[in-house]
Amino acid sequence: MPGRLLVSISSIFDATLKDVAGLVRDLDREEVPVSLLVAPHIDKKWHLAKDTTTRGWLTEQRAGRALLLNGFDQPVQGRRSEFANLGAHEARLRLKGATRQMSALGFDLDMFAPPRWRMSDGTLEVLPEFDFSVAASTRGIYSLDTGGFARARNLSVGEGYGAAKWWRRNVIKAAERGAAKGNTIRLSVSGRELGEKKVRRDFLAAAVAAVGAGAQPADYRDFR
């Protein structure tokens, strides 16, 4: 039985929007769905509430794409991932702030992916309180309504992981090899890396290679 291919993009804000939109168009041409990871704050200086252009683009996208909440205020933890080590109480406070702010902007999201996919047990524990139906971590994908769990490796470009040529080559090979084995392949890229044409080219090549090896294009909504 063939596995699925799940492709996502994070770090979507004013400075990355043009390149993100370009990759989305490229993936659309290959008929590969894209899941968008969004957050109300990035890098202290950027707020979705104040960026009408990015907010308008995301509003257009949400009708046909999967949107996942990707944290609240990533810079607060510096280089550490925001939800990697939080207990239930702290995770609850951050999720409350993030969901309220996103809802006020018209985004009622029911899927969650923490920055760099690193999620503490405390975070996972409180997600159902906010009506999340799907959560994704480094380990795999949680269907919170049913209690199901699908183990699936994530192959990231940027997002605290590599973006060098040798890393991108390894991602392409791993995506193709895993798809040939019938595994579900998760590919993710940070919008910060997409200003480099070679990164966009190789990330697209990884998605195409996975499909060519038998993976079925899908997105995170399939795990609701």
- For the chain, what percent of residues have pLDDT higher than 70? 96
pTM: 0.95
- Which pLDDT value is given to residue 153? 84
| Interval 93-123: pLDDT, tens | 999 999 999 999 999 999 999 999 999 999 9
Q: Residues 67-92: what's their mean pLDDT? A: 84
Percent of the chain at pLDDT > 90 equals: 91
Distance of CA 150 to the CA centre of its chain: 16
Q: Nearest-CA neighbor of 209 among 168, 166, 174, 161?
A: 174
Taking the CA atoms of 192, 195, 197 and 198 in sequence, report the sign of the dihedral they define: negative
Residue 76: its pLDDT value, please? Answer: 46
Question: Residue 11 corresponds to which amino acid?
Answer: S
Q: pLDDT tens digits for 7-61?
A: 999 999 999 999 999 999 999 999 999 999 999 999 888 999 999 999 999 999 9
**If 0-12 CB within 10 Å is exposed, 13-18 middle and 19+ buried, where does residue 50 land?**
exposed
Distance in angstroms (rounded) separating the CA atoms of residues 24 and 224: 23
> Which listed CATH number (3.20.20.370, 1.25.10.10, 3.40.50.150, 1.20.140.10) goes with 4-223?
3.20.20.370
